[in-house]
Amino acid sequence: MYRHRFNDRQALRFKHFSRRSYALFSCIGREVLICTLSVATLTYAKADGISTKPAATAMAADSLGRQEVKLDEVLVTGSRAPLTALQSAKIVTVISRDDIQRAEASSINDILKLATGVDVRQRGGFGVQTDISINGGTFDQITILLNGVNMSSPQTGHNAADFPVSISDIERIEVLEGASARVFGSSAFNGAINIVTRTDKESSVRVSAEGGSFGTFGGDAGLSLRTGNVSQQLSGGYTQSDGGTANSDFKRRRMYYMGALESRYVNLSWQGGLSSQDYGASTFYSARFNNQWEATRRFMASALADICPFADERLVFSPSVYWHRDVDHYQLTRGKEGAQNGENYHRMDVYGAALNAHASWLLGKTAVGVDLRKEHILSTAYGTLLDESEWTAIHGSDRHYDHRGDRTNTSVFLEHNVILGGFTLSAGVLANRNTGLDNRFRFYPGVDISYRPSDNWKFYASWNKALRVPTFTDLYTSNS
């Protein structure tokens, strides 16, 4: 209904922001128009409600042409022992392959917006740089995993979304809400996100291409091979754009490989990938400088095994090893080199090994585990200043890494889960020691209780204690 406004105000339209301290007062008594964007979405809508396929086809299969997989059949990473999404005492949101297909999203970051409680803040288009947080936390307070392997960078959470996979590679995304230190270690202060890649049952090839305005174009390709009990997937992609605003151009490259071997007593899986980005960073880190630039590189590899001594899987051992390297090149003013012009280089290496074991017995499911993680950074700004004889040359530059930081994180886990009908009790403790602190063990217990009167309802209560170890950016950045 139209209503006359008696307090008509002159509209103020922002074209750019001023950095002056008194700028805020120019808005007093005015209607301020910055930007208005309205988007309508369908979240978790059923295929038969929105599908344009004939009814007989929709009833025969879901939108992926496969049989529907129910949440109670999917094992998720909500605890140290494998439980289904419905059994988990914690709140675990599962974004399925079907949900991803319906979303018609352009990046993984857009998919994460489907999960309640996940805050996704993109500085650039196509998810070029994205901060991801859960339930009001910060981007440095969650753990990002790829097939259960911790991919979080101890340098900064700003680069957490440098995924080597595309939407086409993903089977599902699991979002674990709440303090999860006793599940994933001290980095999971406020939750965790686990990306699970797909494994095709048959050999296949896929190719896609895209294009748009502002010089945007790219492509994606994938190959799946299945030979007996061995499966392999290889994918790669490239996207670039001139950007719709000043200094928002980017180039993105990625490649990912995963293999798996299934046998009677041992299941093996291995993966490797790389992601590469070069982009205009506009005013990403400071409104004072509107011509920033950044380039990031990520390399990763891991191997995991599930060893089942008994046919009924009542006892399972899961050893794993992993490594990833994050390289970051930043310029405060694009094209200007040297420390005096705000140019910095960082190289972060993370090495890890873990052993988890879980057993099912009369009183429930018990899990124990240990994780050893080495974090090493070479930088032009972060860490302890080195003697000149210890400097390391930077590839592609005449500068050297003259700072270094090292710390080792040791975590020991113990957890027990009791499942009685619709009732689940999960309790455990994490013992954590970090050489970057004081070299002593700290204990972080937690208890989660849930009750499910039906598959559509869950009542839960949770109490957990956690610690977030500061990133190297937190420890060494000076704003003075």
User: Per residue in 86-129, pLDDT tens?
Assistant: 888 888 888 988 888 888 787 888 888 888 888 888 877 777 88
- Structure-derived torsion over alpha carbons of residues 431, 357, 84, 314, reported in degrees to the nearest 10: -140
State the amino acid at position 455 in one-letter form. D
Residue 207 lies in a domain: yes
Q: What is the pLDDT of residue 6?
A: 43
Across-strand partners of 183?
none
Q: How high does pLDDT run on average in the chain?
A: 83
CA separation for the pair 333, 27 (Å, rounded): 30
pLDDT tens per residue across span 216-228: 999 999 999 999 8
Please tell me whether residue 148 adopts helix, strand or coil conformation. coil
CATH number at residue 53: 2.40.170
CA neighbor of 125 nearest in space, from 18, 218, 40, 50: 218
- The parent domain of residue 93 ranges over 47-476
In a domain? residue 4: no
> Lowest-confidence range among 2-6, 205-209, 399-403, 411-415?
2-6
CA-CA distance, 166 to 218, in Å (whole number)? 12
pLDDT at site 45: 39
Q: What is the mean pLDDT of residues 459-472?
A: 88
Residues near 414 by Cβ (< 8 Å), separated by ≥ 6? 367, 368, 428, 429
| pLDDT of residue 258 exceeding 90 | yes
Pairing status of strand 403-420 against strand 384-385 = antiparallel
> What average pLDDT score do residues 11-15 get?
55
Q: Is residue 227 part of a domain?
A: yes
Local confidence band at 283 (pLDDT 50, 70, 90 cut-offs): confident
Cβ–Cβ < 8 Å for 210, 221 = no
- Contacts for 473 with CB less than 8 Å, ≥ 6 apart: 155, 156, 382
Q: Indicate whether 34 belongs to any domain.
A: no
Beta bridge partners of 75: 84
Identify the pLDDT of residue 93.
87
Predicted confidence at residue 12, as pLDDT, reads 54
Please, which pLDDT band fits residue 24 given cuts at 50, 70 and 90? low
Query: Does a structural domain hold residue 87?
Result: yes
Higher pLDDT, 168 or 66: 168
Give the per-residue pLDDT at 182.
81
Cite the beta strand spans of 242-363 per DSSP E: 250-262, 266-282, 292-307, 315-331, 343-361
pLDDT score recorded for residue 287: 84
> Among 238, 344, 351, 243, which residue's Cα sits nearest to residue 295?
344
Closest CA to 82 of 364, 271, 363, 322: 364
Q: How far is CA 214 from CA 125, 240, 347, in A?
A: 12, 10, 32
Res. 66: pLDDT tops 70: no
Cα separation, 223 vs 241, in Å, equals 26
Task: Examine residue 449 and state whether it is found in any structural domain, yes or no.
Answer: yes
Q: Residue 36: is its pLDDT beyond 70? A: no
- Taking only the tens place, the pLDDT of each residue in 298-351 is 999 999 999 999 888 899 999 999 999 999 999 999 999 999 999 999 999 999
Q: Are 249 and 241 in contact (CB under 8 A)?
A: yes
CA distances from 255 to 163, 209, 221, 274, 456 (A): 10, 16, 10, 5, 39
pTM for the model stands at 0.81
Q: Which helix (H) or strand (E) holds 211?
A: strand 204-212
Closest C-alpha among 142, 134, 140 to residue 156: 140
pLDDT in tens, 131-142: 888 888 888 888
Position 125 in a domain: yes
**Least confident among 24-28, 54-58, 145-149, 221-225:** 54-58
Look at residue 44 and tell me whether its pLDDT is greater than 60.
Answer: no
175-202: pLDDT as tens digits: 988 888 788 887 788 888 999 999 888 8
Cβ neighbours of residue 300 closer than 8 Å, sequence gap 6 or more: 146, 149, 151, 164, 271, 272, 273, 274, 322, 323, 324, 325
Picking from 362, 363, 355, the residue whose alpha carbon sits closest to that of residue 427 is 363
pLDDT in tens, 364-419: 999 999 999 999 999 999 999 999 999 999 998 999 999 999 999 999 999 999 99
The helix (H) or strand (E) run that includes residue 55 is helix 55-60
Residue 34 confidence (pLDDT) above 70: no
pLDDT-derived band at 63, boundaries 50, 70, 90? very low
168 in a structural domain: yes
pLDDT value at residue 5: 45
Tally of domains within the chain:
1
Distances (CA, A) of 355 to 321, 334, 423: 9, 45, 29
**Which tokens in the block code for residue 388?**
């000149």
Model confidence over 432-442: pLDDT tens digits? 999 988 889 99
Q: Which residue has the higher pLDDT, 5 or 457?
A: 457
Using CA atoms, how far residue 306 sits from 139, 300, 321, 358, in Å, is 31, 21, 13, 11
